[in-house]
Amino acid sequence: MATIWFDGSIVPQHEAKVSVYDHGLLYGDGVFEGIRVYGGRVFKMQSHLRRLYESAERIRLSIPYTLAELEQALRDTVRTSGKPDAYIRLVVTRGVGTLGLNPFTCPMPHVFIICDSIQLYPPQLYDTGMKVIVAQRPRIPVACLDPAIKSLNYLNNILAKIESIDAGVLEAIMLNTDGQVAECTGDNIFVVKDGAVVTPPPDAGLLNGVTRRFVMDTLCPALGIACSERHLRLEDVYAADEVFLTGTAAEVIGVNAVGDHVIGTGRGGPVTARLTAEFRRRVAAGAPED
């Protein structure tokens, strides 16, 4: 059973409800964060909260709690759940308004925290790697919708996810309208060539993931692995020695094939394995909350 904090209080799951007039429901007008808990510690909590407030500011949504208050709410929800390892969904909706688009008819946002469990991919795929496809649907251009905004409007990603489901796989690579690699439907993507790690830059049209930055700023330097950003095309992915994905729910997982193209040996690779092991070691030793 999930534990839910709703507008300031822990409530039973059946009482955690939003109005049919909430603009978060009507228009996807709101922001959210997915956050992991390891050993009772909220992984990269400060990074997630900063991004939540930055996303809200970009859509002119005023969160009715301070960062410190939301931090305490997260801790209270995790403690009440009794789950040492969990997944948190922190959501801010625009709140109740009219049936029109005007967001400023919504006087008070709703804020809620769900603390539950998640398993995005089967455990065996972390050993063997997984197959993905390339979605036909491109990523929304940055000029149309800033991917730095982690909004409730995920329809672009969902339509690409449907393509992967129809193909019988669990993820799809999304290209931007210039044909460059952006990200997957719910994960960031990295390639490994000659021992060095490369990932697309944010201006390719991707969310600058918290786990992505943890890999780039902490894990790669700690392991002496070169890591950089540059624009990638599918040819770079197909020619890679390894490909891996990162995300809050996914953590670090290898890719063994992209469509009909086998990646490397077809069973992940040593760089991905080292990064996965280091990620697990660090969160087991005390997940960083910065």
For residues 249 and 186, is the Cβ–Cβ distance under 8 A?
yes
For residues 247 and 211, is the Cβ–Cβ distance under 8 A?
yes
Residue among 187, 141, 136, 142 nearest 162 (CA):
136
Rounded Cα–Cα distance for residues 144 and 151 (Å): 13
Exposed/middle/buried for residue 11 (C-beta within 10 Å: 0-12, 13-18, 19+): middle
Catalytic status, residue 150? yes
Please, which residues have CB within 8 angstroms of residue 88's CB and are 6 or more apart in sequence? 33, 34, 35, 36, 37, 42, 74, 77, 78, 113, 114, 115
Residue among 123, 122, 84 nearest 284 (CA):
84
Q: Which residue has the tokens 């005023």?
A: 62
Rounded Cα–Cα distance for residues 52 and 39 (Å): 23
Catalytic residue of the set 44, 83, 131, 150: 150
For residues 45 and 36, is the Cβ–Cβ distance under 8 A?
no
Active site residues: 150
